[in-house]
């Protein structure tokens, strides 16, 4: 499959937006294309000509993918599920959403220093002692 076809399919599924913190298109998110290419092959086969898909207007691309979704639902769902998971775990998308890309462990999340409300709530929990069996 041509890389341009795969990117066109992914960009149609995940076009990004131009909102307050703009989300990138799928082609700008740094997705693992090798992994998605295998899943996209049956979807591309159902388009009825990839050259026509590449030349189509965005609304026509969406219409063509909706037809594929109806005719090849398992293949379409598999590609969409993997594309969504990869997209929302990619650093550019996490940055656009205001989330950090680093895992929470081993460093944990930053807490506000000496927040009296939190410390008070934690003191109540600590004073209860162990609630589980040893």
What is the structure's pLDDT at 48? 85
Residue 132 has pLDDT above 90, yes or no: no
What is the structure's pLDDT at 28? 93
Backbone angles phi, psi at 20, to 5 degrees: -60, -45
Residues 34-44 have a mean pLDDT of: 93
Backbone angles phi, psi at 21, to 5 degrees: -120, 95
At 42, is the pLDDT very low, low, confident or very high (cuts 50, 70, 90)?
A: very high
Give the pLDDT confidence of 94-123 residue by residue, as tens digits. Answer: 988 888 777 766 776 665 666 677 777 788
Q: Where are the domains of the chain?
A: 3-101
What is the structure's pLDDT at 99? 83
What is the structure's pLDDT at 134? 62
Give the pLDDT confidence of 50-99 residue by residue, as tens digits. Answer: 899 999 999 999 999 999 999 999 999 999 999 999 999 999 999 888 88
Tally: H helices and E strands in the chain: 7, 0
Q: For the chain, give the mean pLDDT.
A: 87
Residue with tokens 């693992």, as numbered in its chain: 32
What is the structure's pLDDT at 31? 92
């Amino acid at each position: 499959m041509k890389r341009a076809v795969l990117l066109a399919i992914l960009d149609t599924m995940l076009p990004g937006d131009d909102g307050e913190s703009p989300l990138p298109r799928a082609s700008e998110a740094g997705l693992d294309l090798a992994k998605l290419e295998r899943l996209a092959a049956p979807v591309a086969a159902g388009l009825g000509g990839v050259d026509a898909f590449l030349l189509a207007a965005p609304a026509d691309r969406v219409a063509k993918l909706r037809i594929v979704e109806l005719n090849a639902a398992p293949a379409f769902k598999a590609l969409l599920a993997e594309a969504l998971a990869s997209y929302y775990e990619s650093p550019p998308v996490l940055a656009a959403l205001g989330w950090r890309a680093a895992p929470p462990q081993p460093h944990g999340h930053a807490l506000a220093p000496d927040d009296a409300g939190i410390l008070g709530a934690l003191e109540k929990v600590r004073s209860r002692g162990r609630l589980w069996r040893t």
